[in-house]
Chain A
Amino acid sequence: MLKALVFKELRETGLLGLLALAVGFYNLASVLGYDIPHWAGHHAATTPFIGDGFVAEVAIMALFLAVALGLMQSYAESARGTWLWLLHRPIGRNRVIAVKLAVGTVVYVLCAAPPLAVYALWAATPRTHASPFEWSMTIDAWRYCFAMLVMYFAAFLSGVWPGRWWGARLLPFLGVGVLAYAGSHVFDRTLPLGRHWEWAWLALLAAASIYATLFVVRSRDFS
């Protein structure tokens, strides 16, 4: 039965994932110097991951992917009325949600990470660009990528949140967003090894969002 659920989730999110992947590689192609139209103007990498705008673009695209993915897996079930069908299957609600989140995470990682990984590999390959490269230069990009995974969990939570209007529904998403942003600034400036603490903070927010999602789905009314 888990296979059936996984297959359903992949079918529903696959197209979005492929689209995000295509946009990610298109953007990467522009950064790598291919002469193609680009929304931010043509920009080839000078020093990879630093000052090329790539990390910010990846973060924005990952955020779009995270929000769309989270809402597609949660709010769409409400809009279609299919929670009533799905949650009546003889399987615990926690397992249904766990499968959804697991598939969403995999789709997110498979669609958001490859352009980054390819860019890093390209940057690490000698004679591809005239600037130094250290793997540590990619950490910010990976951190943003992880932060947007947290926003995926938050978007999922907002999708199942039983608010009467969108403002109330978006409360969890905005809350997690504010906490993630605030955490990055506070830890970075006040603690030694602040960036490491930031990873832990993001992991904590992810865990809290998942726990809240499971709690909400167990306790809310589906009508």
Chain B
Amino acid sequence: MTDAILTQRLTKYYGRRPVVHALDLRVPPGAIYGFLGRNGAGKSTTLKMLTGMVRPDSGRAFLLGEPVEQLRPETRAKIAYLAEGHPLYRWMSVAEAVRFARPFYASWNQPLVDQILDHFELPRRTKIRRLSGGQRAQLSLALAVAPDPELLILDDPTLGLDTVVRREFLESLIQVIQRRGRTILFSSHILGDVERVADRIGVLVDGVLRVDCPTDHFKEAVRKVVLEFNRVPPEFPGCAGLVSSRQVGVSLELVVVDFGDGQRQVCESLEPRSIDVMELNLEDAFIEYTRGPRSVPLFTPAEQRHAEGIGVQGAA
């Protein structure tokens, strides 16, 4: 089956800095993929390269089996893209925006648009410039799903929305997702949103895809290990899957991927008073994983394929 999204060593430089570096991403049909990363990690640039708005310096991207730079209009009609900030023509009313978008598509689910507009109580005659950020997001979503797209690419769709509106938006998104076979790639830096919706996540750190695995597996694989000492903790010698280690008082706090017997032996060799292994929620795992410099990349997409289920990227 053709992947909904496939990139091959996709790279983009701004000046001399690689914003996205050799990105190999594969999103199978029907997946709901949360694309995570800190500000400036390269999420938006990646999504813009996927939609053809930004040209990669090297590498290729395919959407629904077609190279992005040669997407036929019929294929583009099957792809919805919500750009960051939900740009729409502010002089148009809600009804005018719908009337403007409709003729571009051979298939248009007007009852669904009406349903979404009614659900969010978006007044048809109100000018878009008078809508709140949340209402603009809701209108964007209505316009995006009306042509019944096979693939939705959403660039931080809940950015700037308050908690209540964000929850409403995500619930609508979940309803939209329920159509079988629809693929969704959405970027976000709000982990709660991703946890609620995505069945798979990718974490982009400084333009490099460091994690690509099922959401649950990421949470399960990343562990915080606290070693308590009666003295000043020694330097941690390192072990497989170590993300970070830092000294806090008489403790050593480690973040480790797939903590197992091998890593435990290394910990015990330091003769700590106690070893506590703690689960992390997605947000904590993400923060631990993305903060601070790491000299050696833990995972690469290539390694993922050969890791036989070991490591965050290893599980499918």
Name the residue in A80, A81, A85 with the highest tally of chain B Cβ atoms < 10 Å from its Cβ. Answer: A85
Q: Which residues of A contact B237 (CB under 8 A)?
A: none
Q: Is the CB of A219 within 8 A of B55?
A: yes
Q: Is the CB of A89 within 8 A of B88?
A: no
Closest Cβ of chain A to B156, distance in Å, is 13
Q: Decide if A222 is an interface residue (CB 8 Å cutoff).
A: yes
Question: How far does the alpha carbon of A66 sit from the alpha carbon of B284 in the complex, in Å?
Answer: 56
Question: How far does the alpha carbon of A8 sit from the alpha carbon of B54 in the complex, in Å?
Answer: 25
Q: Is the CB of B104 within 8 A of A91?
A: yes
Are A91 and B85 also in contact (CB < 8 A) when A3-B103, A4-B99 are? no
Q: Is the CB of A85 within 8 A of B88?
A: yes
Q: Which residues of B contact A11 (CB under 8 A)?
A: 91
Closest Cβ of chain B to A45, distance in Å, is 40
Q: Which residues of B contact A89 (CB under 8 A)?
A: 76, 101, 104
Question: How far does the alpha carbon of A4 sit from the alpha carbon of B83 in the complex, in Å?
Answer: 21
Q: Which residues of B contact A90 (CB under 8 A)?
A: 73-74, 76-77, 104-105
Question: How far does the alpha carbon of A120 sit from the alpha carbon of B202 in the complex, in Å?
Answer: 68
Q: Decide if A223 is an interface residue (CB 8 Å cutoff).
A: yes
Question: How far does the alpha carbon of A12 sit from the alpha carbon of B100 in the complex, in Å?
Answer: 13
Closest Cβ of chain B to A9, distance in Å, is 11
Contact with A along B46-71 (1 / 0, CB 8 A): 00100111110000000000000000
Query: Contacting A87 at CB < 8 Å: which of B53, B85, B90?
Result: B53
Contact with B along A86-110 (1 / 0, CB 8 A): 0111111000000000000000000
Q: How many residues of A contact B (CB 8 A)?
A: 23
Closest Cβ of chain A to B116, distance in Å, is 17
Contact with B along A1-16 (1 / 0, CB 8 A): 1011001100110000
Q: Is the CB of B76 within 8 A of A88?
A: yes
Are A84 and B103 also in contact (CB < 8 A) when A90-B73, A223-B45, A223-B48 are? no
Q: Decide if A131 is an interface residue (CB 8 Å cutoff).
A: no
Q: Is the CB of B53 within 8 A of A223?
A: yes
Question: How far does the alpha carbon of A91 sit from the alpha carbon of B106 in the complex, in Å?
Answer: 12
Q: Is the CB of A12 within 8 A of B87?
A: no
Q: Which residues of B contact A222 (CB under 8 A)?
A: 48, 53-54
Closest Cβ of chain A to B109, distance in Å, is 16
Q: How many residues of B contact A (CB 8 A)?
A: 28
Q: Decide if B218 is an interface residue (CB 8 Å cutoff).
A: no
Q: Is the CB of B89 within 8 A of A8?
A: yes
**B-facing residues in A168-223 (Cβ within 8 Å):** 219, 221-223
Closest Cβ of chain A to B65, distance in Å, is 16
Q: Which residues of B contact A223 (CB under 8 A)?
A: 44-45, 48, 53-54
Query: Contacting A80 at CB < 8 Å: which of B53, B90, B101, B104?
Result: B90
Q: Which residues of A contact B74 (CB under 8 A)?
A: 90
Q: Decide if A82 is an interface residue (CB 8 Å cutoff).
A: yes
Q: Which residues of A contact B48 (CB under 8 A)?
A: 84, 221-223
Query: Contacting B83 at CB < 8 Å: which of A12, A84, A221?
Result: A84
Q: Which residues of A contact B76 (CB under 8 A)?
A: 88-90
Q: Which residues of A contact B85 (CB under 8 A)?
A: 81
Task: Specify the chain B residue showing the minimal Cβ separation from A85.
Answer: B87
Q: Which residues of B contact A12 (CB under 8 A)?
A: 91
Are A82 and B88 also in contact (CB < 8 A) when A90-B74, A223-B45, A223-B48 are? yes
Closest Cβ of chain A to B76, distance in Å, is 4
Question: How far does the alpha carbon of A186 sit from the alpha carbon of B235 in the complex, in Å?
Answer: 80
Question: How far does the alpha carbon of A83 sit from the alpha carbon of B52 in the complex, in Å?
Answer: 12
Q: Decide if B81 is an interface residue (CB 8 Å cutoff).
A: yes
Question: How far does the alpha carbon of A88 sit from the alpha carbon of B104 in the complex, in Å?
Answer: 10
Are A92 and B73 also in contact (CB < 8 A) when A12-B91, A223-B53 are? yes
Query: Contacting B87 at CB < 8 Å: which of A3, A7, A80, A91?
Result: A80
Closest Cβ of chain B to A7, distance in Å, is 8
Task: Specify the chain A residue showing the minimal Cβ separation from B77.
Answer: A90
Question: How far does the alpha carbon of A219 sit from the alpha carbon of B69 in the complex, in Å?
Answer: 10
Question: How far does the alpha carbon of A134 sit from the alpha carbon of B101 in the complex, in Å?
Answer: 51
Q: Which residues of B contact A83 (CB under 8 A)?
A: 53
Are A88 and B89 also in contact (CB < 8 A) when A1-B103, A221-B55, A222-B48 are? no
Question: How far does the alpha carbon of A223 sit from the alpha carbon of B85 in the complex, in Å?
Answer: 12
Question: How far does the alpha carbon of A88 sit from the alpha carbon of B83 in the complex, in Å?
Answer: 10
Q: Is the CB of A4 within 8 A of B103?
A: yes
Contact with A along B196-239 (1 / 0, CB 8 A): 00000000000000000000000000000000000000000000
**B-facing residues in A1-50 (Cβ within 8 Å):** 1, 3-4, 7-8, 11-12
Q: Which 4 A-B pairs rank lowest in CB-CB distance, beginning with the nearest?
A: A81-B87, A90-B77, A90-B73, A84-B83
Q: What are 13 A-B contacts defined by CB distance under 8 Å?
A: A1-B103, A4-B102, A11-B91, A81-B85, A82-B89, A83-B53, A85-B87, A85-B89, A88-B76, A89-B101, A89-B104, A90-B105, A221-B55
4 extra interface residue pairs, beta carbon distance < 8 Å, beyond A80-B89, A223-B53: A82-B88, A87-B52, A88-B79, A222-B48
